[in-house]
Amino acid sequence: MTEPDEGGAPGGEPIRVLIVDDHELIRRSLALALAAEPDIDVVGEASDGQEAVELADRLMPDVALMDVRMPRQDGIEATKGIRASVPSTRIIMLTVSDEEEDLFEAIKAGATGYLLKDVQINDVPAAVRGVHEGQSLINPAMAAKLITEFANMSRKEAERPPQLPVPRLTEREMEVLRLVAKGMNNREIAKQLFISENTVKNHVRNILDKLQLHSRMEAVVYAVRERMLEIT
């Protein structure tokens, strides 16, 4: 199984980034901001989702910055394609949209982070590093919307029999997963549970291994769907 949603690049190698946006000016701005960072290497650029999937398969980036609205193939479908062919790639959706449907579809597709395009360009390198290190990059306002969608999904799924067998998580792993669902990062979870960040990372890694998934948000979606986790 591909190394799940935790950990850094082996041997201190630069983080390999693919930029995907149909606006050349946005691609150039992102590339310039990231190229100035010694630990980040922009390995490719794509102007639509179809090209993004093809490049990701060839270049195997660590992180992809992905626009949602693009011609030929949108960012949601491209994210699904990249996660299927290069599951180790972590994807940040970068968009003008803060609609609940876009957010939820992006997470279901396998995105690890979701940033609005009004983010300060100087904040993008830190976002890339955070996602590469295993954080789920969603601001508090979006986390609240995501939790609402999870709650709606939980109610809709209540009539469906759970799929068996459901992997068993320890009590502590379930505590960590509940806090992940609230949009907390590793540092916040560690403070809440009075444990170290490394311990949190280990718990998240164990959760993903047990569920055979690659991202924290995928784990939350799975847990809600299988009624392991109740969100009200």
Q: Where are the domains of the chain?
A: 10-144, 161-225
pLDDT at 2: 36
- pLDDT tens profile 38-72: 999 999 999 999 999 999 999 999 999 999 889 88
The distance of Cα 162 from the centroid of its chain, to the nearest Å, equals 25
pTM of this structure: 0.69
Question: Is 161-225 in CATH node 1.10.10.10?
Answer: yes
- pLDDT tens profile 184-203: 888 899 999 999 999 999 99
Q: Which fold has domain 10-144?
A: Rossmann fold (3.40.50)
According to DSSP H, which parts of 110-162 are helical? 124-132, 140-157
Q: Which tokens in the block code for residue 21? A: 């946006």
According to DSSP H, which parts of 73-215 are helical? 75-85, 100-109, 124-132, 140-157, 171-181, 186-193, 197-211
Sign of the CA dihedral running 217, 218, 222, 228:
negative
Fold agreement (10-144, 161-225): no
Place of tokens 């609230």: 182
